Amino acid sequence: MNAGPKTLPGGAQTISVQQQGDGVWALFVQPVDPAAAVGVVASLAGRVLELGDGEYLLGQRRISDSERSGLPSSLLAAPHAALPKALGVRLGLSLSADGHAVFLARDAQDLAKCLAPLLSPSSARPAQLSRETLLDWAGEEESWVELAQMTHKKHRVLELRERMGTRTLRHERWVAPIEGGHWRAGWSW
């Protein structure tokens, strides 16, 4: 099952990665096919628990009703408490009705496994850009990384930004002709 790349009007897709408190990573994807996002989680080793209201957990064992009652009312209300180590929970997924998905993980590699099917095939993006690039850039606490993918009539654009508050800390842009060809930094072709 392939979760992407589904696009926004104008051919855009936005992916953001941020390190949350207590060692939790968040991956935000807009837009995403909800069924495909759940499929990405189900493809990882573990048990998928549907919490309701578009929220899911992936763990190593069944969670009892009493343990479940100790979880936050929403994964996004308390991301740091949404993945309790004692229960063996590795991953959380929260889906919105308007096509947003937020993946939560304690291990950046679990998040990378979710990210891979959401990116365009490697032939359709610069070789310098990989799921590891996004995770490496997102290493600063309180900063986040955005990847925007846009398709226009004659070219494709990928922009990668590291942000903190309203400031852009790093920015890279790659452009390629729509009919194929090599990706280049900036608008030089």
Instruction: Report whether pLDDT(137) > 70.
Output: no
Instruction: Report whether pLDDT(93) > 90.
Output: yes
Backbone angles phi, psi at 115, to 5 degrees: -70, -35
Tell me whether residue 1 is in a domain. Answer: no
Tell me whether residue 6 is in a domain. Answer: no
Tell me whether residue 2 is in a domain. Answer: no
Tell me whether residue 143 is in a domain. Answer: yes
Cα 4 to chain center, whole Å? 11
Q: What pLDDT is recorded for position 158?
A: 78
Tell me whether residue 78 is in a domain. Answer: yes
Most distant CA pair in the chain, distance: 61
- Please tell me the pTM assigned to this model: 0.72
Instruction: Report whether pLDDT(3) > 70.
Output: no
Give the model confidence (pLDDT) of 11-47 as tens digits.
Answer: 456 777 777 777 788 888 887 788 888 888 888 878 8
Please tell me the distance from the alpha carbon of residue 159 to that of residue 14, in angstroms, as a whole number: 10
Tell me whether residue 125 is in a domain. Answer: yes
Q: What pLDDT is recorded for position 126?
A: 56
3-state secondary structure of 12: strand
| DSSP, res 8 | B
Instruction: Report whether pLDDT(156) > 60.
Output: yes
Range of the domain at 91: 12-185
Look at the chain and report how many structural domains it folds into.
1
Tell me whether residue 102 is in a domain. Answer: yes
